[in-house]
Amino acid sequence: MFKKFLDYLGIFLGVLLVSISIVMFLAPNKLVGGGVSGIAIILYHTFKLPIGIVMIILNIPIFIAGIKLLGLHFGIKTFLGTLLLSITIDLLGFFHLPSITNNFLATVYGGLIGGFGLGIVFKYGGSTGGTDILAQILSHYSGLNLGQALLFIDGIIVIIAGFIFNFELALYALLVILIQGYAIDLVQEGLSYTKAALVFSEKPRELGEKILYDLGRGVTIFYGMGLYTGQEREILYCVVSQAEVSKLKEIIHKNDPKAFVVISPAHEVLGEGFKSFKK
């Protein structure tokens, strides 16, 4: 029960951030950040129609598709997110929030705030309707992550919007979508404060023990075979923090200067010595 409460609270906080992004940054500058909100912004500037009400009307058929393809549980959270977003956008209009009229600042901060909001909503299993639903459907069936799916769908919509406003604003809007996609994935995957290392060495056992005891990090041995030599070999794998990378390289160089090392970002490492599995 408490987890469900946290889920709905997370969705509400995420929706609030998305609403602020639209009201303060995107709508005042005619930045069509794709999706239903983008269409609503076009209609707002063209016919003075309320953004929130238009979004509810446009979301009805997409919402029905989301329930059929992603299930009723998804539908409940999506309905909540869609309704909250539409209401919050129109309600914020009564508070006379300051409007950022600089296109560059609106693009950067609108994209970041909106992306963080969407990422939080997605993280807690919800959606704000519109192409967010289509993005989750596309992500579910294609294997794309949510940021990539949203970028693909909204990019098409923004290009069409360029014919309605102008293509300079469309270029800013495309940047909004790119920034939003980055922010969504950042929330979903986390900052890369950890690194994963693959170490190919002629003396893996000795080197592994040095890493284990001198650095205090666990080491796993994989068994592989060189394609050219046909020889089997032991490969070391370990995960360290950003601050430990230099120490790791120092240990490897000191004990086997000829070792071949691959160090890459490791997003959201869960388990002993790193983050817990809790949200």
Strands ordered across the beta sheet of 260-266: 220-225, 232-241, 194-200, 260-266
- Tally the residues of the chain: 279
Rounded to the nearest 10 degrees, the angle between the axes of helix 51-70 and helix 35-47 is 160
Q: Residue 274: inside a domain, yes or no?
A: no
Instruction: Give 92's contacts (C-beta < 8 A, 6+ positions apart).
Output: 19, 20, 23
130 contacts 55 by C-beta, under 8 angstroms:
yes
Instruction: For 124-171, write each residue's pLDDT tens digit.
Output: 888 787 776 777 778 777 777 776 787 788 778 788 788 888 889 999
Instruction: Give 224's contacts (C-beta < 8 A, 6+ positions apart).
Output: 232, 233, 235
Percent of the chain with pLDDT over 70: 93
Max Cα-Cα span within the chain = 73
**Tokens 């970028």 -> residue:** 151
Average pLDDT, the chain: 86
CA distance 211 to 266: 18
88 and 47 assigned to the same domain: yes
Mean pLDDT along residues 192-219:
89
Q: Residue 104: inside a domain, yes or no?
A: yes
Q: Which among 187, 162, 182 has a CA at the least distance from the CA of 173?
A: 162
What total number of domains does the chain contain?
A: 2
Helix (H) or strand (E) holding 222: strand 220-225
Q: Up-side HSE of residue 243: CA atoms within 13 Å toward CB?
A: 0
Domain boundary among the residues 189, 219, 237 is at 189
pLDDT score recorded for residue 241: 83
Instruction: For 207-244, write each residue's pLDDT tens digit.
Output: 999 999 888 889 999 999 888 888 899 999 999 987 78
223 and 162 assigned to the same domain: no
Kindly state the tokens that stand for 6. 């946290």
Domain boundary among the residues 162, 189, 216 is at 189
Q: Residue 276: inside a domain, yes or no?
A: no
pLDDT score recorded for residue 134: 78
Q: Residue 277: inside a domain, yes or no?
A: no
113 and 40 assigned to the same domain: yes
Domain boundary among the residues 136, 159, 189 is at 189
CA distance 184 to 118: 6
Q: Which among 275, 222, 210, 220 has a CA at the least distance from the CA of 248?
A: 210
Q: Residue 83: inside a domain, yes or no?
A: yes
User: Range of 147's domain?
Assistant: 2-189
Q: Residue 204: inside a domain, yes or no?
A: yes
Kindly state the tokens that stand for 252. 């490897």
Mean pLDDT along residues 12-34:
93
pLDDT score recorded for residue 192: 62
Three-state DSSP at 165 gives coil
152 contacts 138 by C-beta, under 8 angstroms:
yes
Q: Is the pLDDT of residue 279 over 70?
A: no
